[in-house]
Amino acid sequence: MKKGLCRLMEETQGVWEAANWAVYKERHHIEKFEASVHPERFEIKDSRAGLPTVRVMSSKDKWVFLHSSVDPVREAQKVADGVSAEGGRVIVVYGFALGYLAEALLERVNEKSRIFIIEPDWELFRAAMAARDLRRIFLDKRVYVLVSKSSKTFKDYLSQVYDTSRHKDIITTGLAGHETVYADFYSQVLRNIKDMVSAKLVNLVTMVKLGSNFATNSLLNLADYCTNPGVASLFDRLAGWPAIIVAAGPSLNKNIHLLKEAKGKAVIVAVGTAVKALKKWDIEPDFIFSIDPHPLNYEHLRGVDVGEAALVAEIQSHHMIFENYRGPIFVSGDVPILKWFGDSIEKKGRIESGGSVANNAFVAAYKMGADPIVLVGQDLAYAPDGHSHASGTNYENQIYSGGENVNFFKVKANDGGTLITDRAFYQFLAFFKNWIEKYDQRKYINATEGGAFIEGTKVMTLREVLDQYCQQEVDVKEVIREAKASFEMPKMEVVLKKLELRLKDTKKTIIEANRAIKHLKELEKACENRQAKKMQQHLKTVDGIYRKFKKDRYIREVVEEFFQRDLHRVFSRTYEAEYSEQDDFHAAIEDYSLYYEKLIEGAKAVEGLLLRCIENVKGKMCNDYQSL
């Protein structure tokens, strides 16, 4: 019986390969890839149950079965039974192999979950396509299959699948054999998931916490953004000069006094949080970086004499910083409202970030050409006594003493021990690590003298850095003067015209949203009275308004920032409704009504901000005219 089954399998393998690749291409838009198959690396054999199984040669020159040599289906079912069947999860499977576990999971999980499978071995995947009929896996909309060894590709693809509105969390599973043979890959997958989830959750918390502050400050700062040079004008101007990035971690207390020696011998780049601490030691940085739109961000600089330090600020930084700063200003930013102007405003320069202002300062130093780049006060963890920031900062009394949990966990410390960090700090840490790994041609030195270890940096004391790298004079003020002199003012009349058009668009949005609410009320009445024709008419109108607004390339992204918390809640409930048998039309109409009500609130807020922005631009134009 088994021999006959095996002969039948051999005869149909060619057919399966073509059919599998056809379906895989249709679902994932990837052509059949050629691989230099090394048959000595793995063997597809018959299990005792008569089904194909596979064994692979490990790095220790031992054969390891990825699936059971007895019954691969039964083994896969046992593994799948250990996975929670509760819906709303993303299940990451490390290893596709011959697909048995994927099939077992499809029987186990419901429609609300997603199965994300990553296979690092291209040759094994190609062989699997010829070994079995895998079409059911590739056709199922719950399943995503990625064949890649790339960490970035994995994180980017998983980030598209994992939606914080739709999914509760991510869980992992796989076969023991796969974990053994591809041990490094398995460890990397776990790290990548941790990084990606932390980034998603931190971004969600930030989005909800800051809400409309991004759009509000971006509009209020637009006139200053237009009339100041971009950070790009500083790029490559510090080639070969040492730059010291001063953050406000608790370890700054240990070596802040030495930074006075660095003045004029290195470029001192301070994050806004560290400015008051530096001021206490009478240290004037060359650059101060600001990115946060929260009002507390202004408090870091409020009332502080910054001397001749140049401000490098993102467009969404708190508007009071721009309004009150008296030194040179350079701007950067990549926010939705800038799409309104096309080429009317010069490209100011982009600074990549993991969410921390220190990330921005670090990248800017790189793009300015600095070498080495030295980190000071960059703890990215809580000090042993629980402090998160240095003394003299606005957060000097912030202490954590809650121990480890899902949001607070241990990381390797610079001294070889461990420290407690949190999700936000961990995201910033991951950014440094990834940047250094990608751009490893510079010297990166961690002179924090405490804090978390940043992979890719050389750990030194600040004293050692000063003695070895900070012995030559550097004239940062001249660099700033030259960069400012190269700036050309844009035509503000064009900017003003674009703003006036967006004001009209905003008014139209309010009108259309009110019209949608009116039709939703009529739709509810028609549903209650079972008037099918009227239901269709109102549904069509509401759907048309919604589609039109989602296509709007000017206002939508800006307005939605004003109700992100409610938007997230509406989307979460809408996703739940997709799978609910009891969800009724009242709940659906309530969701849409809330969406349009909040849309009107946001649009009215944007309308008011646009009016203020227009006045600011006119004020700049008037000042320029008077200076002629």
Query: Percentage of the chain with pLDDT > 90?
Result: 45
Q: DSSP letters along 284-343, please?
A: --SEEEE---SHHHHHTTTT---TTPEEEEETTS-HHHHHH--S-EEEE---GGGGGGTT
pLDDT of 118 > 50? The answer is yes
CA nearest to 377, candidates 442, 429, 446, 425: 446
Query: 357 and 499: one domain?
Result: no
CB 143 within 8 A of CB 115: yes
User: Which pLDDT belongs to residue 612?
Assistant: 94
Of the three residues 160, 186, 207, the one that is the final residue of a domain is: 207
Per-residue pLDDT band at 198 (split at 50, 70, 90): low
Summarize the confidence of residues 393-405 as an average pLDDT: 84
Query: 324 and 439: one domain?
Result: yes
Model pLDDT for residues 434-483, shown as the tens digit of each residue: 999 999 999 999 999 999 999 999 999 999 999 999 999 999 999 999 99
Query: 66 and 131: one domain?
Result: yes
Query: 189 and 250: one domain?
Result: no
User: Which pLDDT belongs to residue 90?
Assistant: 86
Query: 323 and 461: one domain?
Result: yes
Domain that holds residue 203: 2-207
Order the strands of the 52-57 sheet from edge to edge.
42-46, 52-57, 63-65
Query: 467 and 501: one domain?
Result: no
Of the three residues 164, 192, 207, the one that is the final residue of a domain is: 207
Model pLDDT for residues 338-358, shown as the tens digit of each residue: 989 888 888 999 999 888 999
Query: 302 and 325: one domain?
Result: yes
Query: 189 and 243: one domain?
Result: no
Lowest mean pLDDT among 158-162, 191-195, 468-472: 191-195
User: Which pLDDT belongs to residue 5?
Assistant: 42
10 Å Cβ neighbour count for 533? 8
Query: 455 and 544: one domain?
Result: no
Summarize the confidence of residues 426-438 as an average pLDDT: 93
User: Which pLDDT belongs to residue 203?
Assistant: 55
Per-residue pLDDT band at 380 (split at 50, 70, 90): very high
Per-residue pLDDT band at 8 (split at 50, 70, 90): very low
User: Which pLDDT belongs to residue 328?
Assistant: 96
User: In the chain, what is the straight-line distance between the N-terminal and C-terminal CA atoms, in Å?
Assistant: 97
Q: State the helix-helix crossing angle for 183-210 and 423-438, rounded to 10 degrees.
A: 120
Q: What share of the chain is helix, strand, coil (3-state, %, to 5)?
A: 50, 15, 35
Per-residue pLDDT band at 3 (split at 50, 70, 90): very low
Summarize the confidence of residues 27-41 as an average pLDDT: 65
Summarize the confidence of residues 159-171 as an average pLDDT: 73
User: Which pLDDT belongs to residue 435?
Assistant: 96
Model pLDDT for residues 52-77, shown as the tens digit of each residue: 998 888 777 788 888 889 999 999 99
Q: DSSP letters along 93-148, please?
A: EE--TTSHHHHHHHHHS-TT-EEEEEE--HHHHHHHHHHS--HHHHH-TTEEEEE-
Of the three residues 485, 504, 526, the one that is the final residue of a domain is: 485
User: Which pLDDT belongs to residue 94?
Assistant: 87
| Residue at 587: amino acid letter | A
Model pLDDT for residues 538-566, shown as the tens digit of each residue: 888 888 888 888 888 788 778 877 776 66
pLDDT of 165 > 90? The answer is no
The pair of three-digit structure tokens given for residue 305, joined into one six-digit string: 């004499």
CA nearest to 140, candidates 33, 24, 31: 24
CATH code where residue 161 lies:
3.40.50
Burial 47-62 (b: 16+ CB within 10 A, else e): bebebbbbbbeeeeee
Rounded to whole angstroms, the Cα distance separating 97 from 66 reads: 7
Three-state SS for 387? strand
Query: 221 and 342: one domain?
Result: yes
Query: 588 and 508: one domain?
Result: yes
Three-state SS for 452? strand
Query: 255 and 166: one domain?
Result: no
Considering the chain, what is the average pLDDT of its residues?
85
Lowest mean pLDDT among 23-32, 301-310, 380-389, 612-621: 23-32
Considering its fold, how many domains does the chain have in total?
Answer: 3
Q: What pTM was estimated for this model as a whole?
A: 0.72
pLDDT of 37 > 90? The answer is no
How distant, in Å, are the alpha carbons of 1, 47, 129, 301 from that of 6? 9, 10, 17, 76
Which residues, 6 or more positions from 620, have their beta carbon under 8 angstroms from its beta carbon? 223, 226, 227, 492
